[in-house]
Amino acid sequence: MSLSTIPNIITVMRVVLIIPFAYFAWHQDYVAALVIFLIAGISDGLDGLLAKRFDWQSRFGSITDPLADKILLFVALLLLVMKGQLSWTLFWVSTARDLFIVGGATSYHYLVGPYEMRPSIISKWNTALMILLVLLVLVHLAWFKLPLALIDTLEISVILTCIISGLHYSWLGVCHYRARNKAVGSESHGTKSGKVTDKGAAEKS
């Protein structure tokens, strides 16, 4: 086994951890669920650090790593919502945002052209706040009670950043589309001008 596969193995292990996490969260064993969530979070930082430090990055890892994070957060939010710890509004807004972004990027790719999507600063803040929210709720349920006002405020912040990041990605898509059309128009104009110049030179000769 090559050492370069270590980050991918860690990522796969994090995907596997989703199963026991879901089991313990569903059966309200929040201490075990919290421990697994923390292990998953540490593994996420570890595989990214190894991949960058030793240049062990791969196509598989670039796809699987963020997908594992998304699935874990999706499962965590869904279970906490079903247990009445978070609101359905948060779940539906977060899910709608992800579907909107993925659907928009896919449609753009097939209808317009290739478009490399990178997480924006707002999106990174949204993910960080969401992770913090899940972590604090699990701590609240497993360890010691936290002020409900803190959790409610954080939940509202996650909802707002979901909406803002969705709108921001839409704006970035429109800007990319306009820039692409402008570049294509410039190339087309330059080609036509070149043909006219060549034609005039031929007539003079």
Question: Are 81 and 90 contacting, i.e. CB atoms less than 8 angstroms apart?
Answer: yes
Q: Is 72 in the same domain as 110? A: no
User: Does residue 200 register a pLDDT over 60?
Assistant: no
Q: Is 56 in the same domain as 104? A: no
Q: Is 177 in the same domain as 103? A: yes
| Intra-chain end-to-end CA distance of the chain, in Å | 69
Q: Is 36 in the same domain as 101? A: no
Which pLDDT band holds residue 163 (cuts at 50, 70, 90)?
very high
* Residue range(s) defining the domain that contains residue 29: 1-83
In angstroms, the CA 109 to CA 116 distance is: 9
Q: Is 153 in the same domain as 105? A: yes
Q: Is 11 in the same domain as 42? A: yes
Q: Model confidence over 132-159: pLDDT tens digits?
A: 999 999 999 999 899 999 999 999 999 9
Q: Is 31 in the same domain as 108? A: no
DSSP string, 19-64: HHHHHHHHTT-HHHHHHHHHHHHHHHHHHHHHHHHTT---HHHHHH
Q: Is residue 204 part of a domain?
A: no
Q: Is 117 in the same domain as 69? A: no
What is the pLDDT at residue 60?
A: 74
Record the tokens describing residue 189, joined without a space: 């104009």
Q: Model confidence over 71-116: pLDDT tens digits?
A: 999 999 999 999 999 999 999 999 999 998 888 877 877 777 766 6
Q: Is 74 in the same domain as 155? A: no
Q: Is residue 31 part of a domain?
A: yes
